[in-house]
Structure formats: C-alpha cells, structure tokens
Amino acid sequence: MEIRLALAGNPNTGKTTLFNALTGSTQHVGNWPGVTVEKKDGRLKSDKSVIIEDLPGIYSLSPYTAEEIVSRNYIIHDKPDAILNIVDATNLERNLYLSTQLIEVGIPVVIALNMMDVIRKNGDQIHTKKLGDMLGCEVVEISALKGDGIQDAVKKAVAVAKSKKEVVLKQKFSEEIEKVIQEISEIITGKADSRSLRWYAVKLLERDEEIQQDLQLNASELAKIEKLVTACEEIAEDDSESIITGERYAWIASVTEKCVHKKDISGMTASDKIDRIVTHRIFALPLFAVIMFLVYFISISTVGTMATDWVNDVLFGEIVPTYLGGALENLGLADWLYGLIMDGIVGGVGAVLGFLPQMLVLFICLAILEDCGYMARIAFVLDRIFRKFGLSGKSFIPMLVSTGCGVPGIMASRTIESDNDRRMTIMTTTFIPCGAKLPIIALIAGAFFPEQAWIAPSAYFLGIACVIASGIILKKTKLFAGDPAPFVIELPAYHLPGAGNVFRTMLDRGFAFIKKATSIVLVSTVLIWFLQSFNLHLEMVDAEESMLAGIGKMIAPIFAPLGFGDWKAAVASLTGLIAKENLVGTFGVLYGFEEVAEDGEELWATLGAAYTPVAAYAMMAFNLLCVPCFAAVGALRREMMSGKMTWFAVGYQCALAYIVSLMIYQFGTLLTTGAFGIGTVFAIACLLFVIYLLFIKKAWSPEKKTGLSLERA
C-alpha cells in the first residue's frame, strides 16, 4: 500500500533540502522563494512505498500566487495521507500561521521544527512536547541541512498516515467568531468533507470565492452565509479576512509565549547584526557590486581561467589533436569524414567545453551565496531599487535563478501575483547572463581583454541596467501599467553553506551544460561544419565559397553598424539563437580550432586579430541581450500563454539588443578612434529616443478614458 506524504511550509524553511535528503533527489536548493514552482515527487529511500510530494513554498492557504494555488489544490482536492509541515524554528510565530490552517484541513499533520541547530546555538529553547499538545499534533526537532532528526520526522508522518487517526483541533478563536464558524458549518454540512468542515467554514467566512464555487452553494445558502459574515464584520468593525488573520495570530502568540524561551530578549541575533551592514541603505549596493565583481573575477580571471587554459591549450590543443587526429589518420579516413570529426565535432564542441571549468567555478560561487542566505538579502535590497522603476523585488528572484539557466528563471516568475509584472519579468529576466552565456563572456574577455578584470562583471551589470531601463519604459505602456506587486520574503538566518548542497548545485548546472553541449551544440556544430564545407552542388570547397558563407553574407549587412558585419560573426550570432553556447562552437568550427591548435596558436588569438575590442564587446552585448535559446523561448511562450505577447517579447529583446550594441560600437569607436559616420548619427538618434522613453510621462494609466472599457481593452 502506497502512502503519500506532502512536504508543506513557508518559503526558505528547508523543504527542498529535506526532500533531497529523504528521496535522494537533486532538486535545486536556494535561499529565496520560487525555487520550487511546481510540486515534485519522489520515493523515500528507505521505503519505496512512501511517496513524498515537495510542494511550492506558501505562506497560507489563501492563494494569491501560482505556487499557493498549486499547494492548496493538492492538499484540498488530492488529499495526501499526511502532511509533514516544515517550520522554521527561528521564526516560529510567522510559520505557525500556515500550520494552523493545515491542521484545520483535517489531514494528519506532523510538524518538523527545522533549524533547531541554530536555536540551540543561540541558547534559545522550544518546548516541543508542550507545543505539540497545544497544537494537537506531533512536533519533531530536525536540522535538514545536517540531517539530524529527519528520519524520525518521516517515520512519525508515516505512522500518523497509517493510523488514520482523526485530527483533534485545539485552536480556538473568540466566542463570537466560533459561533459564526459553527453556524456556517451547519449550512455546508454534507457539501464538504467532514474532516475539513471547519476549514471550509473559515474560508467562507473570509469570502473565498473559489471555495464558494467548489462547494456549489445555491443562492439561498450564499445569502445566509453573507448575512452571518456581514453581521460579524459590523461587530468587529473590520473585514472578515482581517478578523480571521488577527484571531490566528492572537492564538499563535499565546502558544509561542508558553512554549518558546529566548536567551536574548533584545531579539538581536548574529544575522540581525550582519544585516545592519548587508541591507544598509547606503552600503548594501556597493557591497553587492564588490561581491559580484569578485565572483566573476574568481571565475573568469583567476581560478577558472587556469583550468580553462589547460583544457583549451593542453586537452583540446595537444592531447586530443595528437592522439585522436593521429588515430584517425592511421585509419585512412576520407577527408570529409576526418574534417567532420576533427573540425566539426572536436572543433565545435571542444571550443564550448573548454569553458566548462570557468562555469563550474561560477556555479560554486553562486551556490555558496545562495546557501549562506546572502541572495535573499539582495532580493530584499533590490526591491527598493526596482520598485522605483516599476518592478517588484520578486522580479529579481527569477533573474537570480536565471544565472544558472533561463528556463527555470522564466518559470520562477510564477511567484509574482500581478499579471503585468509577471509578463514584464518574463521578458527581461534573460537579460541576466545565464550559464550558457558564460562561454561567450569568457571568449570575448580572454581574446580581447585579457588584462581587464571588469569585462565579465560588466556583462552582469549591463543586464541589470537593461532590466531597469525596460522596467521604466514598459511600465508606461498600457500592456504593463500598474503598481508593482507587493514583496514579502523570509530572510533566513546566515549559516555556513553545506558542502553537499553547493556541490550538488554545481553538478546539476554543470551536467545540464554538458548535456546541452553534447546534444544541441553537437548537432548544431556538425550542421555548421557541413554548411561551411560544401556548396550547393555538395562539393567540398573552401569556407568562403560554401553554403554557409552565402547565408552569412546575406545577413552580415544587418550587423555591420554593430562592428561585426563579416559573415562568420553573423552566422555565429544566428546559431546562438538555438543555444547561446553555439556562438563559441561556431567560431571553433569556422576558424578551424583543431588546425589552429596544431599550429601552436589559440582560438582567442585568431579572433583577436579579426575584430576590434569595441566590436567584440558590442557582439558580446548583442548575444547576451538578444532572444534567448529556443528552450527559453518555449518556456517564455508557455508562461506568457499568448502568441502575440510572445512575439512582442521576442521583438522587444531583439530591438533592445540591437540598439544597445549599436550605441556601444558607435560611441566606443568615436571615443577610441574619432571616427564619425552615418552609424554614429543613427546611434545618437537611438540614444535620444531611449532618453525620451525614459523621461516621458506615462503614455497610459488606468485613470485615463479610452475608447474601450478597461475590461474589453
């Protein structure tokens, strides 16, 4: 007999960490809400008959966001056999708000007090036996990060699921509210599960429209309930939802007062003291800039570069060409087959995999920042900045996720309540460099700016600048108008990063990159090799006479004002639309990576002679900001749920990338060489147009009258 356990709790309470420990899964663990945006399931390692569902982090069973809807629907409609409620013991009062609702549903609940190691370190004490008695359920102390107590917690959850013991709710509100809840319960008796009768009654008291629809109440029943709710509101002089919220917190406060004893009554923890600097209004942003500079400096210019140099110069520069090339020559392969393997596969895929060490170092650095709790602070700090430009701090959360991959970053936008804010975040989140774009950054930095450590971090801050500018411009349009969504985030206590979590995150992202390099990039580079080796008559020719050269020469004039108007760069940028890593792989094929390596030179030196540094930076900017890879565009289409909005997003991304790259090249060339031409004039016109869009008043607002009603528009 299978048993289904649901892991439920607030964001940042350690659900995914616990899920990974119990099931052996490698779901991504992060210290901000939105990492889990859909429920995920796995089987308990010690008992395969137990299925564990990892639900998105939620604050209550009153759904306002997509993840809250997913969690509530699963709990209410699918009814797991038991709920393992993960509670942050360092923030007990806030977390118990959800716990009281879960217990109210009537499904057996076991509360796992996570981060108890932090509680003990602080010298605080929680009387778990008394807490369990007052709540009416089992309470277990655990540390998901260290693995303490987690087996005991899941065993008790399985035990209560098997026992099917009826939940005894001990939570009580004021006498007047309890009377109204009882009267509503009598009205809906027979329409709802008897175990969840009280929960349904409370939701109806809160005027939850979805619950009204679920119960299929008739007009007479709705009228009776509305009369009771209205009378309750008149007595309390408040709206019904606020009344219930106040009642819950009042009861929770009485519970925590009896069960929790803090050593430091001032409430200033070590994390609070660190946050006085990390979240300071003046120091927070400079500190963030320094930290991100160090992350990219370590990844691109120091540790990562040493490993990448070995892969490029030794592995793919000497070992592979010598042994594999020699073996193929001894086999007497045809010239086209030899070229396919060495120039197409080794040259293309090798050029991409050569940057894997730098990516792994970057993934480690970002995982450390995530796991220690710093990234949650950055989302909080940037909320103040983003809000001024029409975005919520929640918009930064998908951008943080996008540093690994744009697809989950786009999906993480589901945490944003406002449809307009969510769509705008989906459009702009891929401006932040993802792992697939790191090889482009590393290639340009190494080939054209070997001594300039600021190049790689500048790509990250260029993305943020484009996000902010887009927020200002798009918020003034009818499609995205409205106030930013409210931003609520739990700031977890600082702690030393878990080596397992950091290593697992690095491996997950690294394997995802390798998988893409050995599939999409492999197919793409082989196709590029074929097109640049043959003409329309399928005769092997020089690259300049190939089919690829013909395609490239047709589209190259588009990129001429950006400084990279030759056919090779044009083709490389075009293949980057399939997968961003393709740009590096395409250059590896077009510039004969394997042959160059045999001559003792590197791809970097070859590229360095083909383009000016300003043109190279413009090329990097265009490929970082332009339409993301096909997989990300697919995710964008699913989340937008509109073909027109998808095309608008793609068009906006292309236009922004082109304008930014144009200004970089034209103004950069003007400053470095003094050259002034028609391209410079066009760049000045674009700059003036952008300034106009940034400072013009709102083009549309809800107060303005239009020819259509707001509903129809």
What burial class does residue 417 get, using C-beta atoms within 10 Å of its C-beta: 0-12 exposed, 13-18 middle, 19+ buried? middle
Neighbour order of strands in the sheet with 109-114: 40-44, 47-54, 3-9, 82-88, 109-114, 138-141
Angstrom distances, CA of residue 295 to CA of 197, 302, 537, 600, 665: 53, 10, 50, 31, 27
Whether residue 336 is found in the same domain as residue 414: yes
Task: Tell me which of 126-140, 311-325, 468-482, 559-573 is least confident.
Answer: 311-325
d(CA 515, CA 553): 32
pLDDT of residue 487: 61
pLDDT of residue 599: 30
Token reading at 15: 């659900």
Residue 707 lies in a domain: no
DSSP state of 210: H
**Total count of residues recorded for the chain:** 713
586 or 38, which is more confident: 586
Whether residue 483 is found in the same domain as residue 382: yes
d(CA 226, CA 230): 6
Whether residue 118 is found in the same domain as residue 229: no
Whether residue 207 is found in the same domain as residue 132: no
Q: What is the mean pLDDT of the chain?
A: 79
DSSP state of 409: H
d(CA 564, CA 610): 9
CA nearest to 434, candidates 632, 574, 285, 615: 632
pLDDT in tens, 62-116: 766 666 777 888 888 888 899 999 998 888 888 898 998 898 888 899 999 998 8
Buried b (16+ CB within 10 A) or exposed e, 66-95: bbbebbbebbbeebbbbbbbbbbbbbbeeb
Whether residue 212 is found in the same domain as residue 78: no
Whether residue 550 is found in the same domain as residue 460: yes
Token reading at 591: 């510039």
Q: How many CB atoms lie within 10 A of CB 397?
A: 30
pLDDT in tens, 277-291: 888 878 888 888 888
Q: Are 141 and 156 in contact (CB under 8 A)?
A: no
Residue 688 lies in a domain: yes
Whether residue 182 is found in the same domain as residue 110: no
pLDDT band at 594 (very low <50, low <70, confident <90, very high): very low
What phi, psi does 705 have (nearest 5°)?
-85, 140
Place of tokens 């950055």: 378
Q: Are 195 and 166 in contact (CB under 8 A)?
A: yes
Q: Indicate if the pLDDT at residue 702 is higher than 50.
A: no
Q: Indicate if the pLDDT at residue 658 is higher than 90.
A: yes
Question: What is the count of structural domains for the chain?
Answer: 3
Token reading at 375: 């990234």
d(CA 468, CA 425): 11
Residue 271 lies in a domain: no
Residue 629 lies in a domain: yes
Token reading at 356: 């894997």
d(CA 663, CA 672): 14
Angstrom distances, CA of residue 176 to CA of 179, 231, 243, 700: 5, 11, 11, 47
Strand partners, 110: 84, 138
Q: Indicate if the pLDDT at residue 526 is higher than 80.
A: no
Whether residue 118 is found in the same domain as residue 256: no
Angstrom distances, CA of residue 487 to CA of 65, 380, 410, 416, 609: 12, 8, 18, 9, 49
pLDDT of residue 66: 62
Q: Indicate if the pLDDT at residue 275 is higher than 50.
A: yes
84, containing H or E segment: strand 82-88
Helix (H/G/I), strand (E/B), else coil: 87: strand
What type of residue is 647? W
Residue 705 lies in a domain: no
Residue 709 lies in a domain: no
Q: What is the dihedral of CA 167, 168, 174, 177, to 10 degrees?
A: 40
Whether residue 318 is found in the same domain as residue 205: no
d(CA 126, CA 88): 12
Q: Indicate if the pLDDT at residue 47 is higher than 60.
A: yes
Measured distance between the N- and C-terminal CA atoms of the chain, rounded to whole angstroms: 53
What is the span of the domain harbouring residue 649? Answer: 286-695
Token reading at 257: 């007062």
Residue by residue, what is the 3-state secondary structure of 303-346? HHHHHHHHHHHHHHHHHHHHHHHHHHHHCCCCHHHHHHHHHHHH
Whether residue 507 is found in the same domain as residue 372: yes
Contacts by residues 226-235 (CB-CB < 8 Å, ≥ 24 positions apart): 228/180, 228/183, 228/184, 229/180, 229/204, 229/205, 231/180, 232/176, 232/177, 232/180, 232/205, 235/176
Whether residue 147 is found in the same domain as residue 185: no
Residue 278 lies in a domain: no
Mean pLDDT of all residues in 427-441: 83
Residue 168 lies in a domain: no
Q: Indicate if the pLDDT at residue 648 is higher than 70.
A: yes
pLDDT band at 713 (very low <50, low <70, confident <90, very high): very low
CATH number for the domain harbouring residue 255:
1.10.287.1770
Report strand pairing: 82-88 vs 138-141: unpaired
Q: Indicate if the pLDDT at residue 144 is higher than 60.
A: yes
Token reading at 642: 């509109």
Residues 6+ apart with CB under 8 A from 329: 338
Final residue before a domain boundary, out of 139, 163, 187: 163
d(CA 388, CA 645): 25
Interior angle at CA 617, CA 614 and CA 623, nearest 5: 140
Whether residue 349 is found in the same domain as residue 383: yes
pLDDT of residue 710: 28
Final residue before a domain boundary, out of 112, 130, 163: 163
Q: Indicate if the pLDDT at residue 682 is higher than 90.
A: yes
Strand partners, 87: 113
CATH number for the domain harbouring residue 38:
3.40.50.300
Mean pLDDT of all residues in 480-502: 70
Token reading at 346: 């080794």
11 or 27, which is more confident: 11
pLDDT band at 486 (very low <50, low <70, confident <90, very high): low
Report strand pairing: 260-261 vs 125-126: antiparallel
